[in-house]
Amino acid sequence: MPSINNLKKRLRSYLTEEQISQVVRAYYFAEKAHEGQYRRSGDPYITHPLAVANILVDMHMDYASLMAAMLHDVIEDTGVSKEQLAEAFSEEVAELVDGVSKIAQIKFESKAEQQAENLRKMMLAMTRDIRVILVKLADRLHNMRTLHVMRAEKRKRIATETLEIYAPIAFRLGMYNMRVEYEDLAFHNIHPMRARLIGKAVQSARGNRREILSSIKTSLERSLEEEGIQARVLGREKHLYSIYQKMKEQHKPFADIMDVFGFRIIVDRVDTCYRVLGAVHNHFIPIPGRFKDYVAIPKANGYQSLHTTLKAHSGIPLEIQIRTEEMEAMANNGIAAHWLYKSHDEPGSPTHTRAQSWMKRLLEIQQKAGNSMEFIENVKVDLFPDEAYVFTPKGDIKELPAGATPVDFAYAVHTKVGTRCVAARIDGKLAALSTPLESGQTVKIITAPNATPNPGWLNFVVTGKARSNIRHFLKQQRREDAAELGQRLLEKALIPYQLDLSLLSEKTLQQELNNNHYGTVDELLEDIGMGNRLAPLVARKLAGARGENRDPEDDRLPLAIRGSEGLMVTYAKCCYPLPGDTVIGHLSAGKGIVVHRDTCKNLLAEMRDAPEKCIPLNWDKDVEQEFTAALRIELVNKRGVLATLANVVSELGSNIDTIDMAGKDPTLSIINVTLTVKHRVHLARIIKRLRTVDNVVRIHRISA
């Protein structure tokens, strides 16, 4: 059981007496506050904050973090307020404690939403001060170490959350040791039987491998001595969870995973790393394609090392990592190594700088996200471990998750570049915006001043920044389109009352806004455009007494569809309406107007169930947009007939979007085709021309 005296001894190695006395004062304050409280194990509660502080001492964290560790449960579990802490200690310590304190239990619709909100708040606290997350990670680590006293169901839930959220955050901050301990403890709690079996197998394999390991280590040391290089050579063993993951993902037995020997060679300087690489490549045969230089291009979490795989004389694969002492500390403790080596006049380490730029991105994602679940969905992508390193035309490196596309790259360069992106060149060649990028490629983004994000990009972007910015833009666009459509619907609904929206009195409008809790007229118009409020009902309320003189025939006045209404007017996929067709609109909540042909069976059903939601429409004479039409074609099975159809369609200024085989027998095929057309007459020309093609038996337009 750690004691405060043991902690004081450890602190003397790097803190002043004044700072140590502050930490001790925080300990006694917490001990008094938690008096009478006990852990599930039966230990006094103060043992937990003390253990958390001890974990942080391993990282040489500053005294304010250690004080926050002592006090981190005081606000939530005792009657002490943040203000009292600030008065007793300092504003800095109170802020840290407040950031670390477990989030007050808010009533959420689901457990997932609650966890998402908790994590969101934790992330935001961390963007204000990175020490918050380090205290939180240490708190979770001690809870994981003492998880065995919990019920099995709770153990599993906490372990799963640790694996999904805390381990990736530790990885993202470069804290290898903590991440490994998280993963192994979680593995033991989620799959105790599997963990025990793999643990026994590792022990047994370790005994059998001792001699081989020893001889390989000796020959590595000898090869370095011959080159006059001083280095530490350490044997490296895979941890249980990574063995289990590899067995599961690669469908390999335990023996195949354990036949790889790992060694770490630690030297004094960066240039010595490359000399060591030359020495080991001379002594053993390198396996092609297995060399990675994370020294020149560090991983996104600041990790630096040279990786190579060699074949030992017995044919056994050897995984070698070569790094300096400082890289070793960074690899094991990540951002916490910033405190391990920090002197006050020294600027932040590369790991610290990277972590802060990551957190800056988090803040940007949070500002654009609609809710906690969306924020977490975006952040989880950012916690993926695999990266692609891509170059800008000027030679700057951008780190992106595996599977990132030119759109992700554009947003990584700058939000404005992403918003205005229209095309990309990868290594000088034009490429689709959905192309997955690979390390080493140079990407140039082509922009246009009036370009806007495409909703289809959400199907392939992978970074949180790209996803949150596209969603934010589309929401904004959707709101603007909805307000514009809502205004047109309300103005049309006011015609029977001989009223105009611009001439309505301030008092009348304000009363309607107050009655329905709207802040502005735009909010009311958005709701109408979205289909959440019906324009005729709003118009009737606004008209008041004038409603008695209205002409009911004016309700039949159609709304003109221009085709440029944006996201709030969509065209039904069941009947594919075109300019020239008689059309009726259906107001669908959250979607705005869905345009149907008047013969559509789905529309007839809607008219029967909710006639008030159906509005008469006509086509504006200046419609210039392209629309989708659908045809069913029966044709004789002959080679080249589809190519002929495609040529005919192309010659008549159209494009085939999709072709589906609807039915087939030995002689006849039935295909459903969707193609782009300007209007009904354009489609009629295409049908007329297709009927003249050899082997086309029958053709007609599809409707619901």
Tell me the torsion sign for CA atoms 158, 203, 312, 316. negative
Q: Reply yes or no on whether 551 is catalytic.
A: no
Pairing of strands 668-677, 583-588: unpaired
SS3 256: helix
| Integer CA distances (angstroms), 329 to 58, 167, 180, 233, 580, in order | 12, 18, 15, 15, 72
- The strand pairing partners of 668, in sequence order, are 636
| Burial status of residue 211 (CB atoms within 10 A of its CB: 0-12, 13-18, 19 or more) | exposed
Please answer whether residues 412 and 391 qualify as being in contact, where contact means their C-beta atoms are separated by less than 8 angstroms: no
Catalytic hit among 31, 58, 62, 76: 76
Residues in the chain, how many? 704
C-alpha neighbours within 13 Å on the C-beta side of residue 92: 9
Q: Reply yes or no on whether 565 is catalytic.
A: no
- The strand pairing partners of 584, in sequence order, are 596, 616
* Closest C-alpha among 359, 474, 411, 300 to residue 126: 359
CA distance 179 to 186: 10
Catalytic hit among 62, 77, 113, 598: 77
Angle at 658 between CA 653 and CA 660, to 5 degrees: 135
Q: Which residues, in sequence order, are CB contacts of 506 under 8 Å at separation 6+? A: none
Instruction: Provide the token pair at 491.
Output: 């103005």
At which residue do the structure tokens 């230089």 appear?
293
Q: Which helix (H) or strand (E) holds 389?
A: strand 387-391
Q: Which residues, in sequence order, are CB contacts of 530 under 8 Å at separation 6+? A: 482, 486, 568, 589, 590, 591, 592
Which active-site residues does the annotation give?
A: 76-77
